[in-house]
A and B are shown apart, each in its own frame.
Chain A
Protein backbone atom coordinates (compact mmCIF):
# COMPACT_ATOMS: atom_id res chain seq x y z
CA UNK A 1 0.00 0.00 0.00
CA UNK A 2 1.21 3.47 -0.83
CA UNK A 3 2.39 5.38 2.19
CA UNK A 4 2.46 8.78 0.50
CA UNK A 5 -0.08 9.78 -2.11
CA UNK A 6 0.02 12.86 -4.27
CA UNK A 7 -3.10 12.84 -6.39
CA UNK A 8 -2.25 15.73 -8.69
CA UNK A 9 0.24 14.70 -11.37
CA UNK A 10 0.24 18.23 -12.78
CA UNK A 11 -1.19 21.61 -11.92
CA UNK A 12 -1.30 25.08 -13.39
CA UNK A 13 -1.40 28.26 -11.35
CA UNK A 14 -1.46 31.90 -12.42
CA UNK A 15 1.51 33.96 -11.36
CA UNK A 16 0.92 35.79 -8.06
CA UNK A 17 -1.90 33.46 -7.03
CA UNK A 18 -1.74 30.90 -4.23
CA UNK A 19 -1.74 27.17 -4.91
CA UNK A 20 -2.23 24.07 -2.77
CA UNK A 21 -0.47 20.81 -3.51
CA UNK A 22 -2.10 17.79 -1.93
CA UNK A 23 -0.40 15.07 0.06
CA UNK A 24 -1.95 12.27 2.09
CA UNK A 25 -0.02 9.71 4.05
CA UNK A 26 -0.52 6.44 5.84
CA UNK A 27 1.31 5.35 8.95
CA UNK A 28 0.60 3.60 12.22
CA UNK A 29 3.64 5.17 13.85
CA UNK A 30 2.54 7.93 16.28
CA UNK A 31 5.76 9.83 15.69
CA UNK A 32 6.72 10.87 12.20
CA UNK A 33 7.89 13.80 10.15
CA UNK A 34 6.61 15.17 6.88
CA UNK A 35 8.80 16.94 4.34
CA UNK A 36 8.26 18.79 1.09
CA UNK A 37 10.92 19.05 -1.58
CA UNK A 38 11.08 21.03 -4.81
CA UNK A 39 12.84 19.63 -7.85
CA UNK A 40 13.44 22.12 -10.66
CA UNK A 41 14.36 20.96 -14.15
CA UNK A 42 18.02 20.99 -13.13
CA UNK A 43 17.27 17.85 -11.10
CA UNK A 44 18.42 18.86 -7.64
CA UNK A 45 16.03 18.19 -4.76
CA UNK A 46 15.59 21.29 -2.62
CA UNK A 47 14.20 21.00 0.90
CA UNK A 48 11.29 23.38 1.49
CA UNK A 49 9.51 22.69 4.75
CA UNK A 50 9.16 20.21 7.60
CA UNK A 51 6.24 19.29 9.90
CA UNK A 52 6.56 17.00 12.90
CA UNK A 53 3.60 14.88 13.94
CA UNK A 54 3.57 16.43 17.41
CA UNK A 55 3.98 20.01 16.26
CA UNK A 56 1.07 22.08 17.48
CA UNK A 57 1.26 24.68 14.77
CA UNK A 58 1.43 24.41 11.02
CA UNK A 59 4.92 24.93 9.67
CA UNK A 60 5.70 28.03 7.63
CA UNK A 61 8.81 29.04 5.69
CA UNK A 62 8.50 32.27 3.79
CA UNK A 63 5.94 31.76 1.01
CA UNK A 64 5.56 28.08 1.89
CA UNK A 65 3.18 26.79 4.53
CA UNK A 66 2.02 23.36 5.40
CA UNK A 67 -1.66 22.69 6.03
CA UNK A 68 -1.33 19.78 8.44
CA UNK A 69 -4.54 17.89 9.27
CA UNK A 70 -3.46 15.01 11.43
CA UNK A 71 -6.83 13.30 11.76
CA UNK A 72 -7.21 13.28 7.99
CA UNK A 73 -3.57 12.31 7.50
CA UNK A 74 -2.97 15.10 5.08
CA UNK A 75 -0.06 17.52 4.76
CA UNK A 76 -0.80 19.87 1.92
CA UNK A 77 1.76 22.42 0.76
CA UNK A 78 0.50 25.94 0.19
CA UNK A 79 2.58 28.31 -1.93
CA UNK A 80 1.46 31.91 -1.71
CA UNK A 81 2.05 34.53 -4.41
CA UNK A 82 3.34 32.07 -7.01
CA UNK A 83 6.37 33.05 -9.04
CA UNK A 84 7.58 31.77 -12.39
CA UNK A 85 10.52 30.20 -10.62
CA UNK A 86 8.14 28.00 -8.65
CA UNK A 87 7.55 25.87 -11.75
CA UNK A 88 8.98 22.51 -10.76
CA UNK A 89 8.17 19.06 -9.47
CA UNK A 90 7.13 18.95 -5.82
CA UNK A 91 7.50 15.87 -3.67
CA UNK A 92 5.95 15.08 -0.34
CA UNK A 93 7.87 12.66 1.88
CA UNK A 94 7.45 11.02 5.26
CA UNK A 95 9.96 9.79 7.79
CA UNK A 96 8.75 7.44 10.50
CA UNK A 97 10.48 7.44 13.85
CA UNK A 98 11.48 3.82 13.44
CA UNK A 99 13.98 4.54 10.72
CA UNK A 100 16.11 7.04 8.91
CA UNK A 101 14.39 6.49 5.60
CA UNK A 102 12.16 8.85 3.71
CA UNK A 103 9.23 7.53 1.70
CA UNK A 104 8.33 9.76 -1.23
CA UNK A 105 5.11 10.38 -3.07
CA UNK A 106 4.93 10.32 -6.86
CA UNK A 107 5.23 14.08 -7.15
CA UNK A 108 3.20 16.95 -8.58
CA UNK A 109 4.41 19.04 -11.49
CA UNK A 110 3.51 22.66 -10.90
CA UNK A 111 3.47 25.05 -13.83
CA UNK A 112 3.18 28.77 -13.16
CA UNK A 113 1.62 30.80 -15.96
CA UNK A 114 2.70 34.41 -16.54
Chain B
Protein backbone atom coordinates (compact mmCIF):
# COMPACT_ATOMS: atom_id res chain seq x y z
CA UNK B 1 0.00 0.00 0.00
CA UNK B 2 1.11 3.52 -0.77
CA UNK B 3 1.83 5.51 2.32
CA UNK B 4 2.09 9.27 2.44
CA UNK B 5 2.73 10.81 5.82
CA UNK B 6 2.70 14.39 6.99
CA UNK B 7 4.64 15.65 9.96
CA UNK B 8 1.71 17.13 11.88
CA UNK B 9 -2.07 16.76 11.88
CA UNK B 10 -2.62 20.07 13.64
CA UNK B 11 -0.35 23.08 13.88
CA UNK B 12 -0.83 26.50 15.44
CA UNK B 13 1.61 29.29 14.59
CA UNK B 14 1.85 33.02 15.04
CA UNK B 15 1.87 35.64 12.29
CA UNK B 16 5.37 36.16 10.96
CA UNK B 17 6.71 32.76 12.02
CA UNK B 18 8.50 30.51 9.58
CA UNK B 19 6.58 27.27 9.16
CA UNK B 20 7.76 23.95 7.76
CA UNK B 21 5.33 21.26 6.66
CA UNK B 22 6.94 17.95 5.85
CA UNK B 23 5.68 15.16 3.64
CA UNK B 24 7.19 11.71 3.15
CA UNK B 25 6.15 8.95 0.75
CA UNK B 26 7.40 5.39 0.71
CA UNK B 27 6.54 4.31 -2.84
CA UNK B 28 9.48 5.77 -4.76
CA UNK B 29 7.13 8.13 -6.58
CA UNK B 30 8.65 10.72 -8.88
CA UNK B 31 5.94 13.33 -8.39
CA UNK B 32 4.95 15.09 -5.20
CA UNK B 33 2.40 17.83 -4.66
CA UNK B 34 1.27 20.35 -2.07
CA UNK B 35 -2.34 21.54 -2.02
CA UNK B 36 -4.34 23.74 0.25
CA UNK B 37 -7.99 23.11 0.85
CA UNK B 38 -10.47 25.79 1.85
CA UNK B 39 -14.25 25.48 2.20
CA UNK B 40 -16.03 26.05 -1.10
CA UNK B 41 -12.77 26.29 -3.05
CA UNK B 42 -11.86 22.64 -3.30
CA UNK B 43 -8.17 21.77 -3.50
CA UNK B 44 -5.78 24.23 -5.03
CA UNK B 45 -2.28 23.31 -6.08
CA UNK B 46 0.51 25.31 -4.47
CA UNK B 47 3.65 23.61 -5.85
CA UNK B 48 4.66 20.30 -7.25
CA UNK B 49 7.90 18.50 -7.89
CA UNK B 50 8.63 15.89 -10.54
CA UNK B 51 12.15 15.04 -9.41
CA UNK B 52 14.68 15.77 -6.71
CA UNK B 53 15.53 19.47 -6.60
CA UNK B 54 12.94 20.19 -9.30
CA UNK B 55 9.83 22.23 -8.59
CA UNK B 56 7.02 23.88 -10.48
CA UNK B 57 4.56 26.53 -9.37
CA UNK B 58 0.95 25.55 -9.11
CA UNK B 59 -2.06 27.84 -9.06
CA UNK B 60 -1.33 29.69 -5.80
CA UNK B 61 2.42 29.72 -5.06
CA UNK B 62 2.56 33.20 -3.54
CA UNK B 63 3.74 33.18 0.05
CA UNK B 64 5.08 29.62 -0.18
CA UNK B 65 8.28 27.87 -1.15
CA UNK B 66 9.20 24.20 -1.36
CA UNK B 67 12.20 21.97 -1.02
CA UNK B 68 12.88 18.51 -2.37
CA UNK B 69 16.34 17.33 -1.43
CA UNK B 70 15.44 13.63 -1.36
CA UNK B 71 13.03 11.73 -3.56
CA UNK B 72 10.81 10.62 -0.70
CA UNK B 73 10.51 13.99 1.04
CA UNK B 74 8.80 17.21 -0.04
CA UNK B 75 8.66 20.19 2.26
CA UNK B 76 6.37 23.21 2.13
CA UNK B 77 7.71 26.38 3.69
CA UNK B 78 5.80 29.44 4.75
CA UNK B 79 8.55 32.04 5.08
CA UNK B 80 6.43 34.44 7.13
CA UNK B 81 3.08 32.97 8.04
CA UNK B 82 -0.01 35.14 7.69
CA UNK B 83 -3.56 34.64 8.90
CA UNK B 84 -4.82 34.08 5.35
CA UNK B 85 -2.65 30.98 5.21
CA UNK B 86 -4.82 29.31 7.83
CA UNK B 87 -5.99 26.25 5.96
CA UNK B 88 -5.81 22.49 5.51
CA UNK B 89 -2.65 21.45 3.68
CA UNK B 90 -2.57 18.19 1.80
CA UNK B 91 0.44 16.46 0.34
CA UNK B 92 0.18 13.89 -2.46
CA UNK B 93 2.49 11.73 -4.51
CA UNK B 94 2.24 9.81 -7.77
CA UNK B 95 4.41 8.04 -10.27
CA UNK B 96 4.76 9.46 -13.76
CA UNK B 97 2.37 7.36 -15.79
CA UNK B 98 -0.47 9.29 -17.43
CA UNK B 99 -3.10 7.28 -15.60
CA UNK B 100 -1.34 7.16 -12.29
CA UNK B 101 -3.34 8.20 -9.29
CA UNK B 102 -2.24 10.74 -6.75
CA UNK B 103 -2.18 9.35 -3.24
CA UNK B 104 -2.74 11.74 -0.40
CA UNK B 105 -1.45 12.13 3.12
CA UNK B 106 -3.77 12.75 6.07
CA UNK B 107 -3.44 16.53 5.90
CA UNK B 108 -2.17 19.22 8.24
CA UNK B 109 -4.62 21.72 9.62
CA UNK B 110 -2.63 24.92 10.10
CA UNK B 111 -3.94 27.83 12.11
CA UNK B 112 -2.06 31.12 12.00
CA UNK B 113 -2.97 33.50 14.82
Contact = CB atoms under 8 A, between A and B. Distances in A.
Interface of A: 4, 9, 31, 33, 35, 37, 42-47, 50, 52, 91, 93, 95, 97, 100-107
Given A101-B45, A104-B42, A43 B88 contact: yes
Nearest to B102: A102
B84 interface: no
Given A43-B88, A45-B90, A106-B42, A97 B106 contact: no
B42 A44 contact: no
The 8 closest A-B pairs by CB, nearest first: A45-B104, A43-B107, A104-B43, A104-B42, A106-B42, A44-B106, A47-B101, A100-B31
- The B interface is mostly helix, strand or loop, or mixed, namely strand
Interface string B27-52: 00001010100001111110010100
Contacts of B64: none
A94 to B, nearest CB: 12
B105 A44 contact: yes
Contacts of B103: 47
Interface of B: 9, 31, 33, 35, 40-45, 48, 50, 58, 88, 90, 92, 94, 96, 98-99, 101-107, 109
A50 B48 contact: no
Given A43-B88, A44-B107, A50-B101, A91 B42 contact: yes
Given A31-B98, A97-B98, A106 B40 contact: yes
Contacts of B40: 9, 106
A70 to B, nearest CB: 16
Contacts of A100: 31, 48, 50, 94, 96
